[in-house]
Structure 1
Amino acid sequence: MTCSVYYITFFFFFFFFFFLNYYCEAQNQKASALYVFGDSLVDVGNNNYLKLSIVKANHFPYGIDFPSKKPTGRFSNGKNAADFIAEELGLPTSPPYLSLVSESKANKDNVSIVGGASFASAGAGIFDGSDQRYKQSIPLRKQVDYYVEAHNEMLKQIGESALQEHLSSSIFTVVIGSNDLSGYFDSSNLRHKSTPQQYLDSMLFSLRAQLQRIYENGGRKFEIAGIGAVGCCPARRLKNNTECEAEINFWALKYNEGLKSMLQEWQSQNHGLAYTFFDTYAANDDLILNPSTHGFSEVRAACCGLGELRARAPCLPVTKFCSNRKDHVFWDQYHPTETASRILVDKIFNGPSQYTSPITLKELLHL
C-alpha cells in the first residue's frame, strides 16, 4: 500500500467513526430536565399536599399496578403520562413541586427544581375558577407562579448562563383544558354568559399568556397536548345512554383546531421557541374505534367504580375494580389506565404525524 493510499484510508475511517460516534451521541441525547404543568392526567402527587382538596388519588386501589403497589396521588392504576414522558426522555419522573417545598421546609433550605418538577394538579384548569366543583387545586396561573418563583431561585443557585443553557435543553410539558371545557358544559351560568366559541377563544387567550410567561422565564422546548375525546369518558357516556357525548366532543375538536393555530402564531413571534403539539383527541379516537389493535376489549366502562359503566360512583376503597386492567382504556370515571397512557405517550414521542405536529417529541428533544 502506497503512503498516499494509507493516509486516505486512515482519514476515511477516522471521519467515519467520528461521525458515527457523533450520530450515536445525538440519538442518546437526554433532556436536562422535565417541567410539567397541567391537570389530573399528569398530576404525580401535588394534590396530596393540598389539605382542603377533595380530589386525591391517595387511597386504594389507585396505584395497584405502580411499582410500589401503593397509591401515589396519580389518577391511575399505575404510572401516568408524566411518568412515561420522563422515561422517553431518559429522565426520572419529575417530583411534585409541593413535595419539594415540603422537604425544603423540613430541611430549612431553598427549593431546587434543577432536576425537574411537576406543578400539575388534579382539577386544575386554564381558568382560576375551573376547580369550583373540587374546592381546591392549583390552576395554571398559580402553577406558572410557582415556576417563576423557582426559576428565580435557580438563578441564584447556578447563575444566569448555566440556567439559560439548562432550560434551553429542558422539556416543558403542558396538559390542560379538559376541566375548563367540562366546566362550561356543566354550568348553565357559564353557558348563559358566553357562546362555546367565545369561551374557547378565552381559554386560548389565557393559555397563551401563561405559555408566554414560561417562555420569558427560560422555557424553549414545549410539548403541548390538546383536549381528548372528553365526551367518551365513562362519566359523560352516562349522560348519553352509554354513547359518547357528541356536543362536548365537537367543541373539543374546535378547541384543538384553535390551539394548533395559536401555537403556530406564538412560535412565529418568539425567537428560539420550538414545540410539538399532540392531538390527544385523534389518539383517543384511535383507542376507542380500534381497541383490539391495541389489546383492549373494553372502551366504554371504567375499570374501577360502581353502577352502570362503573361510572355512577368514583373509584374508592369500597368500590370494585376489574382484574385485568390491561384490557380497559379507562381506569376510573375520567382517566386512562396505565396501559392506555403508555400507548398515548409512545405516539407523543414517536408519532406518526397524524398525532404530532409539526414535529414529534423525539425530534424536539434533538433540536
Structure 2
Amino acid sequence: MDFTFTEEQEAAAEAAGAVFSGTAPDAVPSPALTTGAVADDIDRGLWRTLADADLLGLVIDPAYGGAGLDPVALCLVLREAGKVLARVPLLETGAAALALQTYADAALREETLPRIGRGELIVTVASAGRTGHDPAELTVEAREEDEGDGADAHWTLDGTHSAVPWAHSADRVLLPAHTRDGSAVLALVPRDHPGVALAEQVSTTGERYAEVRLDAVRLTAREVITDPAAWERLRQLLTIGTCAQALGLGERVLAMTAEYTGTREQFGHPVATFQAVAVQAADRYIDLRAMEATLWQAAWRLGTGAPGALPPAGDVAVAKIWAAEGVRRVVQTAQHLHGGFGADTDYPLHRYHAWAKQLELALGPAAAHEEALGDLLAAHALG
C-alpha cells in the first residue's frame, strides 16, 4: 500500500508543526501538584493561531470556507498536536465538523461549519457515555414529539454523559442518544441550553472535563441527526484521531529517550551504547512504525471508502489495538530508561505518561477492540 501524502496533506502537517513548535508541555503544572485541573480553559492563544493558519477548517468543504481535505490530513495535524500535548479540542471539533458536513441538514451546516473554520465555534463530543464501558448512545434518551396545531416537531433529551473533554470551554456538545426503537441519533446541544448542567471532572491528564446532565432538554428537529450511520462514523473518526495523537506522543517520547540515554553516562560510556538499552529502544521504534502503518490504513479507508477484506471498522480496530498497546509500551520503556529522572515533575515525561494512559483507554482499550475485530472476522467468515 502506497501511503505517500499529497502536497496538500504535507503542507497541513508542516503548518501544524510550525504552529505547535512554540508549545511547551513542561510549562503546564503537574496534576499531582494541583488541587484540581491544571487549567480552567483551553489554550485560547493556540486555538486562535490554529484558526489563523486555516487548520481548524482543514476538513471543511471549500463551500463553507474550509480546505476540503480528508481524515488523513486531520490525523497528520493531530500527530503534531500529540507531540506537544496540545491543550485544544482539535480532535473533537475536527471530527464533529466532518460528521456535521456529512449528515446535518443544509441549514445547520451553513450555521456551524464556517464558524468552526474561523475558530468562532468550539464543538466537543461526548463519547464515553456514563461509564466508558457501555455503548455511549444508551445513556441519553431522545424522544421526538409533535405538539400538533401546526407546531414544528421537536426532540426532548434526558440522560447523562460523563468525561466530556473540554465541555466547559466548548460552545456546543455533539452527543449520541437513543430513541425508543433503539436507533442512535446525534444531537448538537448548546452548552448553556436550558436543562443542561455541567459537573466538574478531572481527567487522567489533569485536564478539566465534565459530566453533562440533560434534563428535558428541548431541541429543534434540525439540531438532531437521525441518520443511523452518523454516530458510528463519528466514533470511528474520533478513534483514528486518538491513534494519531498517540503516535505523535510516542514519537516525541522516544526522541526524548534517545536524547537522554545518549548523554547519560554509566561506567564512562553513554547508556545508549549498552545492548540492553538499544534493544528496548529498537522494540519501541518497531511499535511506532506499526502504529503508523495501521493508522494510515484506517484513515485512508475512512476517507476514501475503498473496498477491503473487512469493513473500515476492522481497520479502525486494528489501528486502535496497536495504538493502545504501543503507546503504553513506549512510555513504560521511557520511564525505565530514564530511571528516577523520569518521575521528576520538573521534567515533562510524567505528563506524557499521563496522556498516554488517557489515550490508551479512550474509546476502548486494546482488549475491547480485539473483541470487536474478532466479531468482524467471525461475521466475515460466516458470510
TM over 0.5: no
Alignment TM-score, normalising by the size of structure 1: 0.27
Greater strand content: 2
Q: What TM-score, normalized to structure 2?
A: 0.26
